[in-house]
Structure 1
Amino acid sequence: MPMQPWFRDAKLGIFLHYGIYAVDGVPESWAFYDGDVPHERYMSQLDRFTASDYDPRAWAALFARAGARYAVLTARHHDGVALWDTGQGDLSVVARSPAGRDLIAGYTEALRDQGLKVGLYYSHSDWNHPDYATAVHPEPHDEEIRTNRYASARPGEEDPAAWARFLAYRDAQVGELVNRYRPDLLWFDGEWERSEEQWGLDALAGLILAANPDTVLNARMLRHGDYATPEQGVPVVAPDGPWELCLTVNDSWGFRHHDHHHKSVRQLVRHLAETIGMGGNLLLAVGPREDGTIPAEQAARLEGLGEWVAKHSTAVYGTVAGLPAGHHYGPSTLSSDRRTLYLMCFDTPRETVSLRGLRTPVRRVSVLGRGTALGHRVVGGLGEVPGVLWIDAPPAADVDDCATVLAVELDGELELYRGAGRD
């Protein structure tokens, strides 16, 4: 299935790890899996999860101001706690917590009212389900998968019938999400604990796409995935095809009381610019408190990022990956008609900005968001080897605090020289 056009041009999404783990501010699911928190104490957070100030319309409005075009909410993490009224058992915030209501329906409605695409996260694995630890990955990449009691059956205690019951439960829950909420994107996780055959991903993909053929699936649906999902660092080389960088605003996916190590707005702008300059989307993670409010430090960073995006929207949306490394000292994007380059400068330009290997003549250079025209000239060049385009640095008043963007309007479609120069 060809990739949905909306995803390629979304550029920015918001990732929400929201669940009972926000009560005590412990790592989502991993806290008991790794033995850092006793299982009973972890699950006791259900009794204190209130969602008392949960306002998905406020979330959606904030995400829209940030410049996001989609969001992804953890409908069910590895701990198995569902945020909706599932018919598959009672392990949900609806049945077992003071929140007592479906937290996904309002989210999907609020996003769509803002024109945002709806993403739902669902973990293949469920470390609380009685039928989950009844199989073993035939070739686990990590020995802990084989030995952790929440992940795998003990040697000789595999139970194919129980595993089949688990897959039926998994399929039924995914079916609920697809049929009730019709998400535009399903973000799967936990795939490393079983093989593709064990997961029965052919059948799962068929179930999803039969209900909504336009559903976008991430790479953790393995060969059924539509796009790659690197985490926590812009790759040096872009993955093949569509991709998305998953990045936390601080150091945590979910809410952690003591994690105040937030990235600055400048750093977030840089991550966004580098990601879209390589043709990817940025999925930026924030962790709501248990009451449903997004911490002020994180909301402020989304607002700041949105201010930069709004000012430079033509360099963000409707663009494709820009110049390969070596042509410009910084990321860039290219308009979809390939006639305008957007050069992003993180540091204050001094004297000139250079662009190498450009064969297409330049009509005009200006500061995006200001309109100020900049002088420019080509120096050098010999035969087929083009000279260097030198662009005058913008006036101090036109320098952006996060990243200055120069719009280079070309007299034709972009053509680059990629050779080694004359012998």
Structure 2
Amino acid sequence: MQKWFEDAKLGIFIHYGIYAVDGVAESWSFYNGRMSYEDYMKQLDGFTASKFDADAWADLIEKSGAKYAVLTTKHHDGVALWDTQHSHLNTVKKTPAARDIVKQYADAITEKGLRLGFYFSLIDWSHPDYPSVYEGGNVPEDPASANRFSSPVDGIQDESRWEKFLEFNNRQLEELLTGYGKVDLLWFDGDWERSAEQWNLPHFKHYLKSFQPEIIINSRLQGHGDYKTPEQGLPITRPEGPWEFCTTINGSWGYVPADEHYKSLHQIVRMFCDCISMGGNMLLDIGPKEDGTIDERQEAILLGLGSWIRAHEEAVYGTKEGVMSRYYGDGSTLSADEKTLYLFVHGDPKESICMKGLCNEIQKVSVLHSGKPLTYDIHGGVPWFQIPGTTWIHLTREDTHELTTVIKLEFAEKVNMYGGSGAVVTHN
């Protein structure tokens, strides 16, 4: 795992494609029969990207506090956002936009000094050779029940056609990994429709890294990825190893104007704090409109999140996961040397916040965004049994941030937490 990824904390996901023309769900709309394939593909004629400004995207992403971005270069519908030489189904040849979206995006992101990420769908529901085999080669009892976009409906598998599809994928990925400079991250999707053996793993991963040796690949590679990607449901238990939580700003990945179910800025900040408290990143999604502009509500959330991060950046960048939630429930991070603890406070406390199990002597407590020193009390504890008391940090509404407040605790030594069950005091 590259250190930059673990230090990044925030990335911006961008779902952009022809599905923004009618504001329908990307790819799944035709796969699940909510509209015909023909009607879905008619959106090619309306995709103009007439106001697409990659530099404006990159500027917004930088202002959000994100350190990397991931663009959907090709979703399950098979429509490529670059001038691929291996399919006519792309935004250069088949849409009025007639432009290489990936090229402009990659140049702008790189120019800003952000890490460059590409989403790529392993599955392609438009390619004639894709629905040639079943997952794991297992023919279902009723082949006719299979979806015609992903599997043969006659029960007959054609391995030669599948090999042709794999070669097609390899050639498109070669274009992405050799034509756009240094690519830092590949974000695969769709691995579930075929087995690791069918995807030719682990050889396939070695092939990818032959073009970009330092590239990071997400978990959606049938067990051969570099980090986990829980989606939409925030983890309750910390995933093992490096991880990233991907989520939408409202309920949709792409631009769906009818979707008014937006998360508030406070909710987004809280989710972000929960991620970094558990040592993970958040990949927050935006869905540009067909013309390439960003909905003002999505833009406002990114700018608000960036403003909060800038006011609290020492509690974000370069930190590691904080103490366990049994010690402090709202989440926390630790400085790299583990001598500073940052506590997140999401509400307005009545008089104080409570921290349990802290063995260290506190040198200083302060509000991070204002620098104001705070007082505290310690009640209880049995020092001769090495059992700490409960620390109560005095904090009232007038000292809080309008979103989430961060309390900074400084120590002379590394943070040391008590994990026992207490004891009967047998002598005083």
| TM-score bucket of the superposed structures, by smaller chain | over 0.9
Partner residue, 2:343: 343
Partner residue, 2:372: 372
Q: Distance in 2 between matches of 1:343 and 1:213?
A: 38
Partner residue, 2:219: 219
Residue 151 of structure 2 aligns to a residue in which SS? Answer: coil
Q: Please show how residues 405-416 of structure 1 align to structure 2 within 5 Å.
A: 405-416=406-417
80, 93, 96: which is aligned to 1:98? 96
Deviation at 1:211, TM superposition (A): 1.2
TM-score in terms of structure 2 length: 0.95
Q: Distance in 1 between matches of 2:201 and 2:117?
A: 19
Deviation at 1:345, TM superposition (A): 0.5
| Counterpart code for 1:88 | H
Q: Distance in 2 between matches of 1:321 and 1:110?
A: 31
Residue 196 of structure 1 aligns to a residue in which SS? Answer: coil
| Counterpart code for 1:408 | L
Contact 2:131 2:148 in 1 (8 A): yes
Q: Distance in 2 between matches of 1:138 and 1:105?
A: 36
- Structure 2, unaligned runs of 5 or more: none
Residue 354 of structure 1 aligns to a residue in which SS? Answer: strand
Q: Deviations over 1:8-33 (max 9, x none)?
A: 01100000000000000010000000
Residues 1:171 and 1:313: Cα distance change in structure 2 (over 3 Å) = same
Q: Distance in 2 between matches of 1:314 and 1:83?
A: 37
Residues 1:89 and 1:139: Cα distance change in structure 2 (over 3 Å) = closer
Residue 409 of structure 2 aligns to a residue in which SS? Answer: strand
| Counterpart code for 2:365 | V
Deviation at 1:397, TM superposition (A): 3.5
Is residue 2:48 matched to residue 1:50? yes
Residues 1:70 and 1:198: Cα distance change in structure 2 (over 3 Å) = same
Q: Distance in 1 between matches of 2:364 and 2:28?
A: 54
Partner residue, 2:289: 289
Residue 43 of structure 2 aligns to a residue in which SS? Answer: helix
Contact 2:11 2:69 in 1 (8 A): yes
Q: Please show how residues 313-332 of structure 1 align to structure 2 within 5 Å.
A: 313-332=313-332
Q: Please show how residues 62-101 of structure 1 align to structure 2 within 5 Å.
A: 62-101=60-99
TM-score in terms of structure 1 length: 0.97
Deviation at 1:154, TM superposition (A): 2.4
Contact 1:12 1:283 in 2 (8 A): yes
Deviation at 1:223, TM superposition (A): 2.7
Is residue 2:400 matched to residue 1:399? yes
- Structure 1, unaligned runs of 5 or more: none
Moved more, 198-207 or 408-417: 198-207
Q: Distance in 1 between matches of 2:240 and 2:137?
A: 25
Partner residue, 2:421: 420
| Counterpart code for 1:388 | T
Partner residue, 1:387: 389
Is residue 2:361 matched to residue 1:361? yes
Contact 1:175 1:207 in 2 (8 A): no
44, 58, 61: which is aligned to 2:59? 61
| Counterpart code for 1:38 | S
Q: Distance in 1 between matches of 2:399 and 2:103?
A: 44
Partner residue, 2:164: 165
Q: Deviations over 1:299-319 (max 9, x none)?
A: 011111111111011111111
Q: Distance in 2 between matches of 1:341 and 1:43?
A: 53
Contact 2:249 2:284 in 1 (8 A): yes
Q: Distance in 2 between matches of 1:151 and 1:222?
A: 17
Residues 1:143 and 1:285: Cα distance change in structure 2 (over 3 Å) = farther
Q: Deviations over 1:240-293 (max 9, x none)?
A: 000000010000000002012111100000000001101110000010001101
Q: Distance in 1 between matches of 2:421 and 2:205?
A: 47
Q: Distance in 1 between matches of 2:141 and 2:238?
A: 30
| Counterpart code for 1:411 | A
Partner residue, 2:236: 236
Residue 238 of structure 2 aligns to a residue in which SS? Answer: coil
Q: Distance in 2 between matches of 1:237 and 1:113?
A: 37
Q: Deviations over 1:191-234 (max 9, x none)?
A: 01000100113232112111111100000123321100001121
Partner residue, 1:185: 185
Moved more, 45-54 or 203-212: 203-212
Q: Distance in 1 between matches of 2:419 and 2:274?
A: 21
Residue 407 of structure 1 aligns to a residue in which SS? Answer: strand
Deviation at 1:390, TM superposition (A): 1.3
Residues 1:106 and 1:336: Cα distance change in structure 2 (over 3 Å) = same
Partner residue, 1:38: 36
Deviation at 1:373, TM superposition (A): 0.3
Residue 136 of structure 2 aligns to a residue in which SS? Answer: coil
Which aligned segments of 4 or more residues in structure 1 are displaced greater than 6 angstroms?
142-146
Deviation at 1:139, TM superposition (A): 7.7
Q: Distance in 2 between matches of 1:79 and 1:261?
A: 25
Q: Distance in 1 between matches of 2:148 and 2:15?
A: 24
Q: Distance in 2 between matches of 1:263 and 1:166?
A: 39
Partner residue, 2:131: 133
| Counterpart code for 1:266 | H
Q: How many residues are paired up? A: 419
Q: Distance in 2 between matches of 1:64 and 1:89?
A: 33
Deviation at 1:70, TM superposition (A): 0.4
Partner residue, 2:301: 301
Residues 1:226 and 1:100: Cα distance change in structure 2 (over 3 Å) = same
Q: Distance in 2 between matches of 1:328 and 1:89?
A: 54
Q: Distance in 2 between matches of 1:139 and 1:175?
A: 27
Contact 2:320 2:333 in 1 (8 A): yes
Partner residue, 2:266: 266
| Counterpart code for 1:183 | V
Q: Distance in 2 between matches of 1:417 and 1:397?
A: 32
Residues 1:143 and 1:379: Cα distance change in structure 2 (over 3 Å) = farther
Deviation at 1:143, TM superposition (A): 10
Contact 2:82 2:90 in 1 (8 A): yes
Q: Distance in 2 between matches of 1:259 and 1:334?
A: 37
Partner residue, 1:120: 118
| Counterpart code for 1:389 | T
| Counterpart code for 2:147 | N
Is residue 2:14 matched to residue 1:16? yes
Cα root mean square deviation, aligned: 1.5
Q: Distance in 2 between matches of 1:369 and 1:311?
A: 6
Moved more, 144-153 or 364-373: 144-153
| Counterpart code for 2:393 | I
| Counterpart code for 2:10 | L
